[in-house]
Structure formats: C-alpha cells, structure tokens
C-alpha cells in the first residue's frame, strides 16, 4: 500500500540525522506501514503482543531507573543497567511529549545475549507497534524480545 503524506512525513523524521544520528530505519527500504504490518504478523505468529513486550521493557527500565544507574541483577537471570543522558527526544510519529534520553543495557544471563533499548523504543512499540527497521541501531526483533525478556 502506498504511503500516505503523513507516513512520508514520519518516515522523513526517521532518517539519519533528523531526530537521531543513525535514524530509525537502518537499511530497510520498505514503506512504514509495511514494516509495522510485518512485525504485527510476526507478533501473531509467535503469540505475543506489542503491549506485552512494551510492558516487559518498561518493567526493566523502571528497575534500572530505581537502581540509580547501578548495574543490578534480577531473578539471577537478567542483568540491567541504565545510562541516563540529559534531555528528551521527540517521537517521530509526532506525539507532543518528549521521552527521556538514555539507554538500557540488558543481558539475559541464561543465554548470554544482550539487548539495548531506549524509553522511546518502549513508546514506539506500545503506541505504534514499531520495532524499528531492519538493521537499525535500536531494532528490537519481536522474536528475540520474547526469547530474552520472558
């Protein structure tokens, strides 16, 4: 389906150098609605929702935030640390609020695999079902999220 003018405007904000240095799309050339639809199909296939993933990401973010930027281990399985940065970043989908800058580094000790995400990622997954484009810096693949976060 052809992108609407609004989707084209959003896509332009997602390009490198607009809101972030690396952008949100990686090397993905699909239209925005196609990126989201493909991830929604994947979510259905693996039996999890965007809200469930966003809830889990937010849970770990809150735990890391409450640790005052100290690395912590939860349930002997999850190692998390928040790197907080001053300022806020805007949502490329044009929400009026800014989101705190910062990065969660999360390690699932059982699999020895690492995920990194930002507060903006949580919002984009929950409100827009947008996990970012292929090979983008902060792409959170739904299958990997299900494996490591739950």
| Residues 111-121: tens digit of each pLDDT | 999 999 999 99
Percent of the chain whose pLDDT exceeds 70:
99
Residue 1 has pLDDT above 80, yes or no: no
Q: Find the domain containing 116 and state its range.
A: 5-149
Domain count, the chain: 1
pLDDT at 132 over 90: yes
User: HEC profile for the chain?
Assistant: CCCCHHHHHHHHHHCCCCCCCCCCCCCCCCCHHHHHHHHHHHHHHHCCCHHHHHHHHHHHHHHHHHCCCCCEEECCCEEEEEEEEEEEEECCCCCCCEEEEEEEEEEECCCCEEEEECHHHHHHHHHHCCCCCCCCCCCCCHHHHHHHHC
Q: Tell me: the pLDDT tens digits for 51-68? A: 999 999 999 999 999 998
């Amino acid at each position: 389906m052809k992108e609407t003018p609004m989707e084209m405007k959003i896509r332009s904000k997602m390009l490198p150098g607009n809101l972030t240095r690396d952008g949100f799309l990686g090397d993905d050339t699909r239209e925005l609605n196609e990126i989201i639809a493909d991830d929604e199909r994947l979510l259905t296939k693996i039996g999890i929702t965007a809200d469930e993933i966003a809830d889990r990401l937010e849970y770990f973010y809150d735990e890391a935030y409450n640790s005052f930027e100290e690395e912590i281990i939860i349930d002997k399985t999850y190692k998390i640390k928040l790197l907080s940065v001053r300022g806020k970043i805007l949502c490329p989908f044009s929400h009026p609020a800014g989101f705190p800058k910062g990065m969660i580094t999360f390690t699932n000790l059982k699999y020895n695999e690492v995920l990194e995400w930002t507060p903006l990622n949580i919002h984009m997954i929950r409100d827009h079902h947008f996990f970012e484009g292929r090979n983008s810096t902060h792409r959170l693949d739904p299958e990997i999220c299900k494996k490591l976060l739950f």
